[in-house]
Amino acid sequence: MLAAAQRQLNRLHAGSLLIDGRISPQRRRLSVSRHVCGAGKQQQQQQPSGEGGKPLARSIRAMPIRIISVSKGTPASNAYVDEWLDKLRRYAPAEVVQVKPNPLKARDVDVAKAAEAQKVLALLSPRDRVVALDERGREVSSEDVARLLAAAGDDGVPLAFCIGGPFGHGPGVLERADDRLRLSKLVLNHSVALAVLVEQLYRGHTILEGSPYHH
Decide if pLDDT at 73 tops 70. yes
Residues 130, 174, single domain; the answer is yes
The count of domains in the chain is 2
CB atoms under 10 Å from CB of 66, counted, come to 19
Residues 25, 110, single domain; the answer is no
Is 51 a domain residue? no
What is the Cα–Cα distance from 131 to 67, expressed in whole angstroms? 9
What is the Cα–Cα distance from 96 to 68, expressed in whole angstroms? 6
Q: What is the pTM of this model?
A: 0.75
Is 112 a domain residue? yes
**Which tens digit of pLDDT belongs to each residue from 25-43?**
333 333 333 333 333 333 3
Decide if pLDDT at 10 tops 90. no
Is 50 a domain residue? no
Is 119 a domain residue? yes
**Which tens digit of pLDDT belongs to each residue from 134-177?**
999 999 999 999 999 999 999 999 999 999 999 999 999 999 99
Strands 18-19 and 22-23: antiparallel
Q: What is the pLDDT of residue 20?
A: 35
Residues 33, 117, single domain; the answer is no
Q: What is the pLDDT of residue 49?
A: 52
21: containing domain: 2-45
